[in-house]
């Protein structure tokens, strides 16, 4: 049996189309659960900067809006997409709003949490802007808490990019 990777999952884009994550094969991925009304929302700027600087070298940032933490992303997908684009110039792939914890957690996030545990071995995503770094083989290599700014992950990404 082959080992599972992020490429085994699909997700709905923010425009409502099903997309296989296999489309990102061979790229380094930074997968983030996002929110539009969170203290960490300005991290969109850093995520977009990473994406713009390293996209041509093989990085893809993937944003997954989530409303599970203090109702900080209550809008619909279209409003979230407009907010990210207008306020932060986001042009990296954004997906439809999902749950990252609990019984209805998206299968991708169930997998990410199993592969890269949080503090003291916990699996649950603690807050918005938790980041998962995935190598070119689709394997989860690290997990960063919301307090870790995107710029602080740059060296790890560049190392993976070779």
* pLDDT tens digits along 122-154: 788 999 999 999 999 999 999 999 999 999 999
Closest CA to 63 of 18, 20, 11, 105: 11
| Cα R_g (the chain), whole angstroms | 14
Determine whether 38 is an active site residue. yes
**What are the structural domains, with CATH classification, of the chain?**
6-161 (3.40.30.10)
**Could you tell me the two tokens for 77?**
């997908």
Q: What is the model's pLDDT at position 1?
A: 46
pLDDT in tens, 27-58: 999 999 999 999 989 999 999 999 999 999 99
* Adjacent-strand bridge partners of 65: 34
Catalytic member of 38, 62, 80, 153? 38
């Amino acid at each position: 049996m082959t080992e599972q990777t992020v490429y085994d999952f699909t997700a709905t884009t923010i425009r409502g189309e099903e997309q296989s994550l296999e489309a990102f094969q061979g790229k380094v991925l930074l997968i983030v659960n996002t929110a539009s009304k969170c203290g960490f929302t300005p991290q969109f700027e850093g995520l977009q900067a990473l994406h713009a600087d390293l996209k041509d070298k093989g990085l893809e940032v993937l944003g997954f809006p989530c409303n599970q933490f203090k109702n900080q992303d209550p809008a619909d997908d279209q409003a979230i997409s407009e907010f990210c684009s207008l306020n932060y110039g986001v042009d990296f792939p954004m997906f439809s709003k999902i749950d990252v914890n609990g019984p209805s957690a998206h299968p991708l996030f169930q997998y990410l949490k199993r592969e890269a545990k949080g503090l003291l071995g916990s699996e649950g995503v603690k807050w918005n802007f938790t980041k998962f770094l995935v190598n070119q083989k689709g394997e989860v290599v690290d997990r960063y808490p919301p307090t870790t700014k995107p710029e602080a992950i740059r060296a790890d990404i560049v190392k993976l990019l070779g």
